[in-house]
Amino acid sequence: MALDYQVFYILGSGLLLQERHLDVRTNNLANVNTPGFKKDFLVASSWFTPDGVKKNTTNPEESSNNYVYPIVEDVYTIFEQGNLVKTGNPTDVAIQGNGFFAVQDGEGNVIFTRKGMFRLNEEGYLTTEEGYLVLDENFNPIQLLGSEVKITKRGYIYADGELVGRLGVWDLENPVKIGRDFFSGNPIPTEDYEIYQGFYEASNVNAVKEIVQIIKSVRAHEFYTKLVQAADEVQGKLNNLL
């Protein structure tokens, strides 16, 4: 009788996969206007049910593929460049190219972000909107005590004409997203970038593409649901006959 229920495991895994697709795509769409946001992409893989072995093909001509079911392999972040949006605010900065700004969160941890919408706190330190301290190339906080701030394309910061320091811009090994705007990872020095003062980087989400993918996932979910209902009806009739 175990094989009678195999179809429900397979179809159920398809339903769950589409739900995860919807979670990822709707989160992307919800952050279409979030500065510095990087969209996510879900990757699925196929597995052979009886042995639990990953399959490299889903060729329908192979009879064993009647028992192949999909699972979520991983969710990856897509680090494509977002458009630069002009604000004119001297403490707004955007990275064109590779790299992340280093900041220190409220617990003293160094994390990284592409969102360069910075502010000055009461003590003149450069911070994120959350109040996290922005760090220089030596991972020290940056204090600006002048009235006129200029930041060059290489990240050097001048206050009233005096060099204050240089923004820390780092590439990351094995970046992991933290919430919407921040990442953890192993920082690596990089020079493949330019800093634009008075700009911020917009989200790299394309709203139209995300909506199309959401519609596809909704339709696929409806299709799986109908198949589950049909399989349940067939199973019920077989049970009655037996």
Q: How far apart are CA 168 and CA 202, in angstroms?
A: 20
Domain assignment present for 159: yes
Per-residue pLDDT tens over the stretch 48-62: 666 656 666 656 566
Helix (H/G/I), strand (E/B), else coil: 120:
strand
Domains: count for the chain: 2
Answer whether 195's CB lies under 8 Å from 154's CB.
yes
Q: Are residue 88 and residue 73 in the same domain, yes or no?
A: no
Provide the pLDDT for residue 8: 74
Alpha helices in the chain (DSSP H): 6-30, 207-241
In the DSSP assignment, the letter for residue 208 is H
Confidence band of 108 (pLDDT split at 50, 70, 90) = very high
Q: Are residue 107 and residue 9 in the same domain, yes or no?
A: no
Domain assignment present for 54: yes
Confidence band of 127 (pLDDT split at 50, 70, 90) = very high
Can you read off the two tokens belonging to residue 51?
Answer: 């042995």
Q: How far apart are CA 31 and CA 207, in angstroms?
A: 9
Q: Are residue 45 and residue 104 in the same domain, yes or no?
A: no
User: CA nearest 26: which of 239, 183, 213, 199?
Assistant: 213
Q: Virtual CA dihedral for 58, 45, 26, 227, nearest 10 degrees? A: 50
Domain with 66 in it: 2-30+40-77
Q: Virtual CA dihedral for 176, 182, 188, 189, nearest 10 degrees? A: 160
Domain assignment present for 223: no
Q: Look at 232 and 187; give whichever has higher pLDDT.
A: 187
Over the chain, what is the mean pLDDT?
Answer: 88
Q: Which is it for strands 149-151 and 193-197: parallel, antiparallel or unpaired? A: unpaired
Domain assignment present for 92: yes
Q: How far apart are CA 156 and CA 149, in angstroms?
A: 11
Q: Are residue 134 and residue 72 in the same domain, yes or no?
A: no
Across residues 151-172, what is the average pLDDT? Answer: 95
Q: Are residue 69 and residue 93 in the same domain, yes or no?
A: no
Domain assignment present for 95: yes
Provide the pLDDT for residue 3: 44
Look up the pTM and report it: 0.80
CA distances from 209 to 30, 79, 204, 205 (A): 13, 16, 11, 8
pLDDT at 85 over 90: yes
Q: Are residue 70 and residue 49 in the same domain, yes or no?
A: yes
Domain assignment present for 235: no
Provide the pLDDT for residue 73: 82
pLDDT at 5 over 70: no
Distance of CA 180 to the CA centre of its chain: 7
Domain assignment present for 218: no
